[in-house]
Amino acid sequence: MKQKLATTVAGKLTSKVGLVAILGVAAIGGVTLVSSNVFASLNATAFNTTAQNISVGTLKLTQLGVGNGFTSAIGPIQPGDTQNRYVDVTNGGSLVGSSMTLQIADNQAAASITAISALTGTVTYTAANSFVIGQTVTITGATAPAYNLVNATIASASGTQFTVTSAATGATSTATATPLSTLTSDATNGLQVTISSCTGGTWTAGTGVCSGATNAVLASTAASVLKAGVQTLTAVNLALTAGGVSHLKISMNLPNTLAETTANGVLPATTLQGATGSIVWTFTEAQVTGTTTNS
Amino acid sequence: MNQTRLRRIGALLVILYVLPVCLDLASASLAARASNAAQNISVGNFRTEVTATAGTQNIGTLSRTTGGTVPTRFSNFFVQNFGTIGVAKVTVTLSSITSISNLDYCTGATGAFSAKATCGTGTLVAAVAALSQTITVSIPAGTRIAFQVISSANTITTVVGVSVGTAQLNTATTTNS
């Protein structure tokens, strides 16, 4: 009896195990078949056997003075004077430029005065500065009111101090010396800039002679306008091609519209005399519009 | 949170993502600049002053007294150009010309009177005195001209002033360099 029962149980277990095994095999087989159906495929690729080169062009602009260029100081000038300076602006990149603009900046800065002293008609202001003799400055912020001078003329200057002729006296204090910058801020009486190019030739700086054709690039424009924003130069008269050189004459004129009278050595309350500028000329060239090419 | 609100938030997120990309695409271009080291430029000044002796600085007008007896009824002064621009003309004013006959000067930057109406250096240029007169005389920056007032009375006091306007400067120039 016990043996029969054991045989029966063993038989049932064997049947179930067999069933599970069959189902398992079937499942694995099914998954295998399905997986095989998903990943097993044919692929084909095509690529060029010689690598295709592609590069981005460059846009480079440099300026080089011809003669004095922008490197040497100008002045003192007087109303009616014109100073012509010459620069070559070169597109040294591989791309063609579409246009060129000009903007100027006036970099002169006020000087912070740390001490003031007076001796026999001369006032000495201690301050790191870059002033020059004859320059006009206005002093503000001194504790002693007499030291606050309007349109004072620099009588002497070093990198650490400057003097003006004045009978002012008082206690020392700090103050500020602001240089007169109407040269680049007065649209009427201030500096006027005109630019022309020498096409097919070059300028001779000493004589102002162009060996090619002279063409206008910028009509007379106030320096104040050039300082306020970029001005577009006449592209057709510039060499904007890759490697092109624009030979430019920069004419700086102080118009003779200024009418001032100096009596007994005292400058007028509103004056352009002694005004200074520290000018940075920035030429900018833009790329041409990108194109779509079929070839 | 309803569906409409979700849609709006989604649209906003899309705009926030796309807008910067669009702006970047619009401004992406090549530009090249060329600048110089700062160039200094200055306007000169014209400051002429009346001085008692050559080279000294005397702010304002100058009182001159001609005194003594003939032939010493004269007084000398200088017009010094302390400015940085040369002048071609100066306007000399005298507060009074009563009994003042002449306003003379000696030519040249080193001109000087040695006696009444006599230049020790330079050439005498004699002129009748006036309350205000513009004299054509070149005074380069940093130089001076010697003047002399001559009176007919034993003593006369006059205040001398000098002025220069932009029209009295040297001729403007064009420089290529």
For chain A, say whether B143 makes contact (Cβ under 8 Å): no
Q: How confident is the model at residue A9 (pLDDT cuts 50, 70, 90)?
A: very low
Cβ-Cβ contacts under 8 Å, B167 against chain A: 259
What pLDDT is attached to residue B55?
77
Cβ-Cβ contacts under 8 Å, A91 against chain B: 32
Query: In sequence order, which residues have a C-beta less than 8 Å from that of residue B68 and are 6 or more positions away?
Result: B154
Report CB contact under 8 Å: A95, B30: yes
Distance from CA of B7 to the nearest CA of A (A): 37
Distance from CA of A193 to the nearest CA of B (A): 13
Please state the φ and ψ torsions of residue B160, each to the nearest 5 degrees. Answer: -100, 135
Q: How confident is the model at residue B4 (pLDDT cuts 50, 70, 90)?
A: low
Q: How confident is the model at residue A41 (pLDDT cuts 50, 70, 90)?
A: confident
Of B152 and A35, the structure prediction assigns the larger pLDDT to: B152
Indicate if the alpha-carbon torsion angle A181, A183, A185, A190 is positive or negative: positive
The predicted model gives A267-274 an average pLDDT of: 90
Give me the residue label for tokens 């003309």.
B89
Q: Which of B30, B41, B163, B171 to mutate to test the interface with A (most CBs of A within 10 A)?
A: B41
Structure tokens at A175: 């103050």
What pLDDT is attached to residue A134?
86
Q: Please name the member of B43, B49, B170 whose beta carbon is closest to the beta carbon of A275.
A: B43
Structure tokens at A223: 């320096």
By the 8 A CB rule, do B162 and B92 touch?
yes
What pLDDT is attached to residue B69?
85
What pLDDT is attached to residue B24?
42
CA distance B140 to B105: 16
- Comparing alpha-carbon positions, the chain A residue that sits nearest to B25 is A290
Average confidence score pLDDT of chain A: 89
Report CB contact under 8 Å: A265, B47: yes
Distance from CA of B60 to the nearest CA of A (A): 5
Report CB contact under 8 Å: A285, B32: yes
Distance from CA of A52 to the nearest CA of B (A): 24
What pLDDT is attached to residue A133?
87
By the 8 A CB rule, do A180 and A137 touch?
yes
Of B71 and B73, the structure prediction assigns the larger pLDDT to: B73
CA distance B164 to A165: 19
The model's pLDDT over B132-141, given as tens digits with 9 standing for 90+, comes to 999 999 999 9
By the 8 A CB rule, do A286 and B30 touch?
yes
Report which residue type is found at B95.
Answer: S
Cβ-Cβ contacts under 8 Å, B174 against chain A: 81-84, 208
What pLDDT is attached to residue A275?
93
Cβ-Cβ contacts under 8 Å, A123 against chain B: none
pLDDT at A39 over 90: no
Q: Among A229, A249, A244, A242, which Cα is nearest to A65's?
A: A249
Indicate if the alpha-carbon torsion angle B140, B146, B149, B155 is positive or negative: positive
Give me the residue label for tokens 């030429």.
A283
Compute the count of residue pairs across chains A and B with CB atoms less than 8 Å apart: 212
Cβ-Cβ contacts under 8 Å, B46 against chain A: 78, 262, 273
- Comparing alpha-carbon positions, the chain A residue that sits nearest to B47 is A265
The model's pLDDT over B11-69, given as tens digits with 9 standing for 90+, comes to 655 554 444 444 444 457 899 999 999 999 999 999 999 999 887 777 778 999 988 88
- Comparing alpha-carbon positions, the chain A residue that sits nearest to B35 is A282
Q: Which of B36, B39, B159 to mutate to test the interface with A (most CBs of A within 10 A)?
A: B39
pLDDT at A166 over 60: yes
Scanning B78-117 for CB atoms below 8 A from A yields 82-85
The predicted model gives A44-70 an average pLDDT of: 95
Q: Among B134, B109, B116, which Cα is nearest to B75's?
A: B116
Q: Among A54, A60, A102, which Cα is nearest to A287's?
A: A60
The predicted model gives A186-208 an average pLDDT of: 97
What pLDDT is attached to residue A23?
52
CA distance B70 to B153: 9
pLDDT at A79 over 60: yes
Cβ-Cβ contacts under 8 Å, B41 against chain A: 73-75, 77, 83, 183, 191, 252, 276-279
B168 strand-pairing partners = none
